[in-house]
């Protein structure tokens, strides 16, 4: 399979649901003779009729020509029975997410198709190695995980089982590139890349809610405004379905032998138990009307008040280079702690400390990280118990001068955005430690699979690996939980970074 060419492959798509018909659409649009098979013939016919309507809309919008639509439709046929798939080169199954169903299907096909037919599973969570174990010639079984909706979403995870040859994966990568997709290569591991590395985005949000740090509306607003995410974790899980997201988390948790990093949340379980599954049930974290519209958090209009305080800036604030520019302040030296002193109040950029546990003798306000402080509309802050109401008002007045809204949360180590990012980075490092995927593929997977503004390693370069490591070490010291233990891969990267020249330390690929 080293030089396998799939450019003219005859393709069978099994399953005529949303994912299956979407994959069939991709195949026929890219010139492949394609046969669609489903046990439910009526459902299959309805899916094809729906596809014709989709093409009509694309023609109407000028996305494709009428001729292109007709040619694509002419390449699609419906199989009367599974025997009609005997002469295809590539089978892509998109059936129910159950191991026994997928294995049984491939076993039937193994008796019908020739031994060189490729069996690709669109599974999002089941081990490709386990699926292949019950199939003759298991080396032809591979994961080809599309994201919904398949014609729109760019990412495809190509999953290598234990016996899947690298040549087959690379042939599929070439095919996906021809289909204008962004393919990433991953080993068969629970959750693959996206569903594994994304877990902290939800887990840390739900933990903040369980610890009564903030409200779900403010949490979503903070992750969007300060983190640059398109949707907050509560909005996104409502969209996915709380039941679906919870099930994936459970699956990953169990598959990793109950690794604490993936432990499901009681906050989410309560929603699932109540049938509050999100948009599809019209209630999750949010309440939805008949048009699926819902109310989101909006900060109050800033009323600027007179700010009077003695200011002194220490440190270079290299993790937030735009901050001092936005606040029209001159920084100190790189070897000083990052502190803005307002009279007797210390404003610090969080490094994962607890305001109440780590700062006992001075009034201290901890600030969350912001992805672009030059355009910041809000900043998330916490404070220790020494701060009084007039101190908080003074801090608010300071930021109000620059039209920046302050969102106060309860003392929460690493606050919201920073905590989310360092845990995402740490999970990516664990995946790299285990050789699951390359740094580039991990970044692409998270950007194009779940629409993150950056990949974990891009964030690590922006924040600085040493800062990420320090934040994780502080979280681990406070909580004493394994889920906050810094990855060995991250520790090794920081150690190497400290031992090479300044120019080399900027090259992330030196450690790949």
Q: Which of 16, 127, 188, 195 is catalytic?
A: 195
Gyration radius from the chain CA atoms: 26
Q: Is 145 a catalytic residue?
A: yes
**127, two tokens:** 């081990």
d(CA 46, CA 28): 17
Say if residues 442 and 450 touch (Cβ distance below 8 Å). Answer: no
Q: Is 382 a catalytic residue?
A: no
Say if residues 13 and 87 touch (Cβ distance below 8 Å). Answer: no
Say if residues 342 and 398 touch (Cβ distance below 8 Å). Answer: yes
The β-bridge partners of 120 are 92, 142
- Assign residue 391 a region: left if phi > 0, alpha if psi is -120 to 50, beta otherwise? alpha
d(CA 137, CA 30): 28
Q: Which of 124, 338, 350, 354 is catalytic?
A: 124
The β-bridge partners of 76 are 34
Instruction: Provide the CA 273 distance to its chain's centre, in angstroms.
Output: 25
Q: Which of 32, 145, 370, 405 is catalytic?
A: 145
Q: Is 124 a catalytic residue?
A: yes
Identify the helix (H) or strand (E) that includes residue 90.
Answer: strand 90-93
Q: Is 195 a catalytic residue?
A: yes
d(CA 458, CA 472): 17
Beta strands in 211-323 (DSSP E): 311-314
For 205, phi then psi, to 5°, come to -65, -45
Say if residues 184 and 177 touch (Cβ distance below 8 Å). Answer: no
Say if residues 369 and 319 touch (Cβ distance below 8 Å). Answer: yes
Q: Which of 93, 157, 353, 427 is catalytic?
A: 157
Of the candidates 361, 373, 349, the one whose C-alpha atom is nearest the C-alpha of residue 474 is 349
| Omega cis (within 30) before 9 | no
CA distances from 438 to 108, 184, 333 (A): 35, 9, 36
Mind telling me the catalytic residues? 124, 145, 157, 195
């Amino acid at each position: 399979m080293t030089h396998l060419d799939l450019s003219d492959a005859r393709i069978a798509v099994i399953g005529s649901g949303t994912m299956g018909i979407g994959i069939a659409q991709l195949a026929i649009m890219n010139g492949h003779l394609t046969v669609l098979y489903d046990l439910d013939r009526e459902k299959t016919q309805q899916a094809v009729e729906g596809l014709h309507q989709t093409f009509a809309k694309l023609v109407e919008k000028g996305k494709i020509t009428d001729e292109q639509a007709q040619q694509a439709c002419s390449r699609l046929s419906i199989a009367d029975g599974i025997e009609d798939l005997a002469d295809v080169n590539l089978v892509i199954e998109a059936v129910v997410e159950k191991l026994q169903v997928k294995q049984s299907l491939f076993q039937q096909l193994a008796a019908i198709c020739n031994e060189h037919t490729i069996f690709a599973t669109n599974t999002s969570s089941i081990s490709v190695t386990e699926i292949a174990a019950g199939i003759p010639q298991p080396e032809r079984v591979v994961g080809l995980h599309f994201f919904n909706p398949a014609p729109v979403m760019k990412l495809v995870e190509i999953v290598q089982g234990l016996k899947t040859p690298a040549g087959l994966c690379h042939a599929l990568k070439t095919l996906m590139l021809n289909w204008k997709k962004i393919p990433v290569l991953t080993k068969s591991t629970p959750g693959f890349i996206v569903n594994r590395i994304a877990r902290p985005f939800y887990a840390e949000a739900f933990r903040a809610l369980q610890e009564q740090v903030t409200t779900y509306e403010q949490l979503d607003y903070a992750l969007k405004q300060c983190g640059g995410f398109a949707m907050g974790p509560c909005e996104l899980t409502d969209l996915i379905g709380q039941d679906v997201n919870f099930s994936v988390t459970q699956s990953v948790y169990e598959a990793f032998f109950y690794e604490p990093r993936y432990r499901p949340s009681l906050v989410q379980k309560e929603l699932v138990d109540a049938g509050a599954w999100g948009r599809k049930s019209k209630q999750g974290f949010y309440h939805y009307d008949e048009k699926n519209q819902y109310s989101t958090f909006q900060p109050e209009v800033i009323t600027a008040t007179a700010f009077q305080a003695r200011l002194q800036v220490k440190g270079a604030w290299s993790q937030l280079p735009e901050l001092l520019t936005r606040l029209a302040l001159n920084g100190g030296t790189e070897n000083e702690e990052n502190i803005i002193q307002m009279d007797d109040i210390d404003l610090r950029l969080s490094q994962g400390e607890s305001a109440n546990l780590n700062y006992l003798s001075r009034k201290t306000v901890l600030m969350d990280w912001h992805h672009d402080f030059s355009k910041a509309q809000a900043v998330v802050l916490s404070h220790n118990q020494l701060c009084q109401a007039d101190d908080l008002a003074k801090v608010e007045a300071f930021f109000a001068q620059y039209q920046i809204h302050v969102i106060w949360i309860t003392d929460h180590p690493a606050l919201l955005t920073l905590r989310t990012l360092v845990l995402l980075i740490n999970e990516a490092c664990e995946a790299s430690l285990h050789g699951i995927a390359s740094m580039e593929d991990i970044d692409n997977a998270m950007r194009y699979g779940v629409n993150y503004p950056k990949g974990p390693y891009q964030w690590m370069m922006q924040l600085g690996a040493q800062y990420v490591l320090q934040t994780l070490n502080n979280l681990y010291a406070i909580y004493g939980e394994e889920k906050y233990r810094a990855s060995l891969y991250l520790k090794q990267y920081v150690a190497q970074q400290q031992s090479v020249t300044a120019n080399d330390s900027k090259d992330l690929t030196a450690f790949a």
